[in-house]
Amino acid sequence: MDRFKFIYKSNINKLPKTAGVYCFASPKPKGEGGFEVIYIGKAINIQNRVKNHFNQPSYRDNLFMDKVDKIGFLKTNSEIEALILEANLIKKHQPKFNVVWRDDKNYFYVAITKEKRPSVYITHQPFDGTQGKKNDKADYIGPFVEGVALKKTLRFLRRAFPYYSQRKHPKIKCTYCHLDLCPGPQPDLKLYKNNLKNLKLVLEGKRINVFKNLKKEMNLLAKEKKFEEAGKIRDRMQALKQIMAHTRVIEAGKTFIAENPNQLLARIIGVNNISRIECYDVSNIQGKQATASMVVFVDGQPDKNEYRKFKIKMQNEPNDIAMLKEAITRRLTHAEWKFPDVILIDGGIAQLNAGIEAKGNKNIKVISIAKRNKELFIEKRKNPILLKTLPQEIYNLIIHLDDEAHRFAITYHKKLRSNDLLR
């Protein structure tokens, strides 16, 4: 049925621990055969959310949980994709036990008006009065279940596709204009309407089409030597990729078991699980008394018994990258020290590459933090992620690791300098 992969509810532990959409299915009446989808939901962590339906049922859950025979799931790459996919699947299947949202007045829709200068807003009412017909003064995308998540999604998508949220705009730039979230008092209407077309496609789950449209548009502008305009399209594509991949919009809710920072970081950098993270930093003055530090976090917390320090052997060469590579290479010769799942390095792309080269073919993910531009570089990913776009828990974890490695390296470096002065 659709793309859902189904398992029996007795195999609930086989559900993925990723973002996505899940459904509950019940056998059809005798004689009909097969089964039907009776409830659809979305989750940051499918397995945890589904378990919560059984372990801590709400009053709505008690209406149908005893009827569940199978559980279906669809993994998504992001929470926004899960939100959009949920809307499309509810619209298609109309599950009878999504009771609280069965009345269209309780769904949420995104409306894009059909005016000369269209605006975008959220509404409960896509219908015109009591006639049961869609209001033809706007295009409606939906239904969406969760209003808060939808508002967050629109707020983030507005960075890629600026739009008007009000019918009238002042003759001067508004606050949103200065934040690049509004097209301004005198927009290029053709460009603006094209942006709204792409926004609509994203909300309908057709983001691949949007990237194709933008790439085609960018290439055409480049051929016409309109490089500034092409650069803006490129930036819009990058913004959209960041938003779709890393934005948190789904509310955990009181009955949801939230993911810890390690689980979130694992999803972002593309690994199955993270227990141990090692962070490295180098400290020296023009290559003299050079040291490197290794700090260790296990399950998100510092384990100071596992910290290590290295006195760099290469002499009088102010080459931080080579020193970093030496430290990681030496560390990985110690098979008696448990290998990390992730190595975090203080620095940019050059430091990242040094770490990748040093770890060789070991199953360790390397990431690096460039603090000047506040970016996170990830092995096998072309473009860095802006730290400010990361969930707060991940931001805090990465900064804590980096600060701790820097502190540990500086402390050892100062000790070596003091010893040298005393000789």
Confidence of residue 11 (pLDDT cuts 50, 70, 90): very high
251: pLDDT strictly greater than 70: no
pLDDT value at position 40?
92
| pLDDT tens, position by position, 42-77 | 998 999 999 988 887 765 676 688 889 999 999 988
The whole-number pLDDT of residue 374 equals: 83
If you average pLDDT over residues 399-423, what whole number do you get? 69
What proportion of the chain, given as a percentage, has pLDDT over 70? 85
User: What are the tens digits of pLDDT across the range 107-164?
Assistant: 788 999 999 999 999 988 776 544 445 567 888 988 888 788 888 889 889 988 999 9
- Give residue 227's pLDDT: 86
Q: In whole angstroms, how large is the CA radius of gyration of the chain?
A: 26
As a whole number of angstroms, the distance between CA 259 and CA 289 comes to 42
Alpha carbon distance 316, 29 (integer Å) = 81
For 25-50, write each residue's pLDDT tens digit: 998 877 777 888 999 999 989 999 99
Confidence of residue 255 (pLDDT cuts 50, 70, 90): very low
Structure tokens given for 138: 């706007």
Decide which of 163 and 291 is more confident: 163
Burial classification of residue 331, based on how many CB atoms lie within 10 Å of its CB (0-12 exposed, 13-18 middle, 19 or more buried): buried
Separation CA 395–CA 87 (nearest Å): 30
C-beta of residue 387 within 8 angstroms of C-beta of residue 369: yes
pLDDT tops 70 at residue 210: yes
Structure tokens at 337: 């020290």
**What gap in Å lies between CA 13 and CA 15, rounded to an integer?**
5
pTM over 0.75: no
Greater confidence (339 vs 245) lies with: 339
Q: For residue 130, what pLDDT is reported?
A: 43
How far apart, in whole angstroms, are the C-alpha atoms of residue 347 and residue 37? 50
Measured CA to CA, the distance from residue 79 to residue 149 in angstroms comes to 9
Mean pLDDT of all residues belonging to the chain: 83
Average pLDDT (390-414) is: 80
Domains of the chain: 5-98 (3.40.1440.10), 104-206+242-246 (no CATH), 261-421 (3.30.420.340)
Instruction: Give the mean model confidence (pLDDT) for residues 206-222.
Output: 88
The average pLDDT across 314-337 equals 86
Mean pLDDT over 310-339 rounds to: 87
Question: What pLDDT, on a 0 to 100 scale, did the predictor assign at position 100?
Answer: 46
Task: Please give, one letter per residue, the 3-state secondary structure of the chain.
Answer: CCCCEEEEHHHHHHCCCCCEEEEEEEECCCCCCCEEEEEEEEECCHHHHHHHHHHCCCCCHHHCHHHCCEEEEEECCCHHHHHHHHHHHHHHHCCCCCHHHCCHHHCEEEEEECCCCCEEEEECCCECCCCCCECCCEEEEEEECCHHHHHHHHHHHHHHCCCECCCCCCCCCCHHHHCCCCCCCCCCHHHHHHHHHHHHHHHCCCHHHHHHHHHHHHHHHHHCCCHHHHHHHHHHHHHHHHHHHHCCCCCCCCCCCCCCHHHHHHHHHCCCCCCEEEEEEEEEECCEEEEEEEEEEECCEECHHHCEEEECCCCCCCCHHHHHHHHHHHHCCCCCCCCCCEEEEECCHHHHHHHHHHHCCCCCEEEEEECCCCEEEECCCCCCEEHHHCCHHHHHHHHHHHHHHHHHHHHHHHHHHHHHHCC
pLDDT in tens, 276-285: 999 998 886 5
Tokens, residue 239: 């913004």
pLDDT for residue 217? 86
Q: How confident is the model at residue 2 (pLDDT cuts 50, 70, 90)?
A: low
- Extract the tokens encoding 65: 């949980």
Q: Nearest 5°: phi and psi at 6?
A: -105, 145
Q: Give residue 101's pLDDT.
A: 44
Local confidence band at 270 (pLDDT 50, 70, 90 cut-offs): confident
pLDDT value of position 246: 62
